[in-house]
Amino acid sequence: MKSNNIQQNALKKANFKTKIDLLVKFIFAFLALICACVVIFIVIFILVKGIQPFIIPDGSGATQNVSDFFLNPNWLYDGTGGMSYMMLATIYVTLLSLIISVPTSIFCGLFIVKVCHKSIKEILKTGVQILASIPSVIFGLFGMGVLKPIVKGFANAVGMQTFGGSSVLTGVLVLAFMTIPTITLVSITSMEAVDINLSKASLALGASNQQTNYKIVLKASQSGIFAGTILGIGRALGEATALQMVIGNGGVGWDFLNIFNIYRTLTTTMLAGIGEATGIKYDIRFSLGIVLIIVIVVTNILLNLLKNYMTRIDKGEPKDKNKIGIIKNIKIYLEAYVHAKKN
């Protein structure tokens, strides 16, 4: 009897745990479904609102000219503005900020994980976490109060002129300050996950601490560093408030190539004057939103492809033999064609 009771109690507990597992799975699936539906709804809403200015006239009868949207070097909200140069400016400003933020973040993470004393390691990590949680508007105020006067003084020193310090360079510096904490945190996490035995083996073979850090730790954590870089790029591409406060929201055509000029990006153009916008002046911002989504998606795809390629190279995986064969065949055909021409 006792053994039967024990078995029945065990079965009841097992059935109870199974029901709990099913309930938890259902809750998680339901939450995931809600999140997916919200994302799909947002994308559909932006697509619908973004296409409307091209096909449906607003209250004043204005529509967005398609050719002007791609070719006009100036931006106007009346249906004749062009976004191509703003898109290029957005990518340009982001790339310049990454030139500053990515190396700085990697070396900061390496210093915190492998170089600095344990007594200050947690203090530095906490400081980076605090910086990562600061709202963008605070970075914008920092750019207005600190960076703009510095950029203005630097421009005067080299014989250039800025609009009171508002410039592409100031926007680049603000974006760099904003993305450094994000990339640094992810880099720290990936470096801490590197197996300590790899470092010990490197040191045992005679490598110095610096060689071990650069050739072992950084290589082993490059996947996480790429992930942090992707997050940093996403934040830089999508930033509007802080950038609008320092970049000037002006400029035409290729003016953004001069880092001391003012200019506008996709996000700052979407944000500027949105509270008073109506009709096509409001709807056209969703068209810019579609362009921004495409830029972010394409950038993430390219970075992930680069990350996978570098991972395969590091692992020493063989290249695609089919591709190599195709290249060799093309080379043979070209050599045969050149030989026939000579004869």
Please state, in angstroms and rounded to a whole number, the distance separating the CA atoms of residues 302 and 308: 10
| Per-residue model confidence (pLDDT) at position 251 | 76
In our burial notation (b when 16+ CB lie closer than 10 A, e otherwise), range 143-159 reads bbeebbeebbeebeeee
pLDDT at 35 over 90: yes
Tracing tokens 């200015």 back to the chain, one arrives at 53
| Per-residue model confidence (pLDDT) at position 306 | 84
Q: How confident is the model at residue 53 (pLDDT cuts 50, 70, 90)?
A: confident
pLDDT in tens, 214-253: 888 888 888 888 889 988 998 899 888 899 899 988 877 8
**Which is nearest to 236 in space by CA: 170, 180, 163?**
180
**SS3 per-residue string spanning the chain:** CHHHHHHHHHHHHHHHHHHHHHHHHHHHHHHHHHHHHHHHHHHHHHHHHHHHHHHCCCCCCCCCCHHHHHHCCCCCCCCCCCCHHHHHHHHHHHHHHHHHHHHHHHHHHHHHHHHCCHHHHHHHHHHHHHHHCCCHHHHHHHHHHHHHHHHHHHHHHCCCCCECCECHHHHHHHHHHHHHHHHHHHHHHHHHCCCHHHHHHHHHCCCCHHHHHHHHHHHHCHHHHHHHHHHHHHHHHHCCHHHHHHHECCCCHHHHHCCCCCECCHHHHHHCCHHHCCCHHHHHHHHHHHHHHHHHHHHHHHHHHHHHHHHHHHHCCCCCHHHHHHHHHHHHHHHHHHHHHHC
Residue pair 269/207 in contact by the 8 Å Cβ criterion? no
| Per-residue model confidence (pLDDT) at position 342 | 56
pLDDT at 70 over 90: no
Please state, in angstroms and rounded to a whole number, the distance separating the CA atoms of residues 37 and 229: 28
Token pair of 132 as six digits: 């990562």
pLDDT in tens, 164-222: 888 999 999 999 999 999 999 999 999 988 888 888 888 888 888 888 888 888 888 88
pLDDT at 254 over 70: yes
| Per-residue model confidence (pLDDT) at position 322 | 47
pLDDT at 57 over 70: yes
